[in-house]
Amino acid sequence: MKKSLLLLTLFFVCQLVVSQNKDAYVFYNANGKKVSYKKMLKKLKDKEVILFGESHNNAIAHWLQFEVTTDLFKTNKLILGAEMFEADNQIPLNDYLSGKINYKGLDSLARLWKNYKTDYAPLVDFAKTNNLTFVATNIPRRYANLVYRKGFKALNTLSTQEKEWMAPLPMAFDKELPTYKNILKMMGDHGTPELVESQATKDATMAHFIFKNMKPTHTFIHYNGSYHSDHYEGILWYLKRANNTINYGTITTVSQEDIYKLEDEHKGKADFIICVDSNMTNTY
């Protein structure tokens, strides 16, 4: 009897401890089943390309980008790349990585995002310390804005040099992709066909520079906003056009009030879904 009471007491104590646990995030697979960090990392080790989708101001996503990168570096040869660097900034980025210029030099020569110091500098500095390639993959914003105003046809007016900083023209485009159609839905009266074309120039260009810089026996980790790779579209759609046998993995970041059950709208967004408590402090 005493033994039974002791076991019952221990059970309730354990339940109390679990109920008081406050996690900041939970990992899920595409089907909405909880997975461990260790299992996710194991699945990612054999990938040629990993598209790590972030919410740009989410501290947990940025921390996990660094953790996944440093942990994979223990076993894999890595190449890094990011949406946050535009292709025409590759030279100053290379100069920083090689030690030719310091942070002030990089800041003056490259168009760094406002959250660079807190969110992206750790990744760039990791590449610098370990002599890793870091690829500036995005189309220069001025050209994406040009397409937003005038459509794809405006890119034909650019110089040969300017065209080197984007995917080859003419860029493939499928306006019927669900993620592109959803942009128009989300933007309402502000949505235009040119807006979707502008988004496509970014996806196409990031895929182009990822594919161009891939190497055998290496894993290319790319950091981008989640929407650029959610639902296996965006960047991945273009990568598959280049080579439909690429062994890839995708990660996305979502926020919920209750992180212990993935909401249906988030299922299927990626191979692994980081569900972050919506109360998490943002980096900006």
Predicted confidence (pLDDT) at residue 7 exceeds the cutoff of 80: no
The predicted pLDDT at position 12 comes to 47
pLDDT for the residue numbered 20: 64
Please give the pLDDT value at position 15. Answer: 47
Task: Report the pLDDT value the prediction gives residue 9, as an integer from 0 to 100.
Answer: 47
12 within a domain of the structure (yes/no): no
Question: Residue range 166-187: average pLDDT?
Answer: 94
Domain count, the chain: 1
Question: What pLDDT is attached to residue 186?
Answer: 87
> Could you tell me the CATH number of the domain that includes residue 155?
3.40.50.11550
In a domain, 174, yes or no: yes
Does a structural domain hold residue 35? yes
Percentage of the residues of the chain whose pLDDT score is greater than 90: 89
pLDDT of residue 128: 98
Confidence check: pLDDT of 138 > 70: yes
Residue 282 lies in a domain: no
pLDDT: which is higher, 1 or 167? 167
Q: Does the pLDDT of residue 99 top 90, yes or no?
A: yes
Encode the chain in three state secondary structure.
CHHHHHHHHHHHHHHHHHHHCCCCEEEEECCCCECCHHHHHHHHCCCCEEEEEECCCEHHHHHHHHHHHHHHHCCCEEEEEEEEEEHHHHHHHHHHHHCCCCHHHHHHHCCCCCCHHHHHHHHHHHHHHCCCCEEEEECCHHHHHHHHHHCHHHHHHCCHHHHCCCCCCCCCCCCCCHHHHHHHHHHHHHCCHHHHHHHHHHHHHHHHHHHHHCCCCEEEEEEEEHHHCHHHCCHHHHHHHHCCCCCEEEEEEEEECCCCCCCHHHCCCCCEEEEEECCCCECC
pLDDT in tens, 236-272: 999 999 999 999 999 999 999 999 999 999 999 999 9
Instruction: Find the mean pLDDT for residues 58-69.
Output: 98
Give pLDDT, residue 253.
98
- Domain extent, residue 196, equals 21-277
| Contact yes or no for 46/279 (Cβ under 8 A) | no
Has residue 11 been placed in a domain? no
In a domain, 16, yes or no: no
Is residue 14 included in any domain, yes or no? no
Q: What is the pLDDT at residue 172?
A: 97
Domain-embedded: residue 158: yes
Average pLDDT score, the chain: 93
pLDDT at position 11: 47
Say which residues have a Cβ less than 8 Å from residue 150's Cβ, sequence separation at least 6.
194
Least confident of 109-113, 180-184, 197-201: 180-184
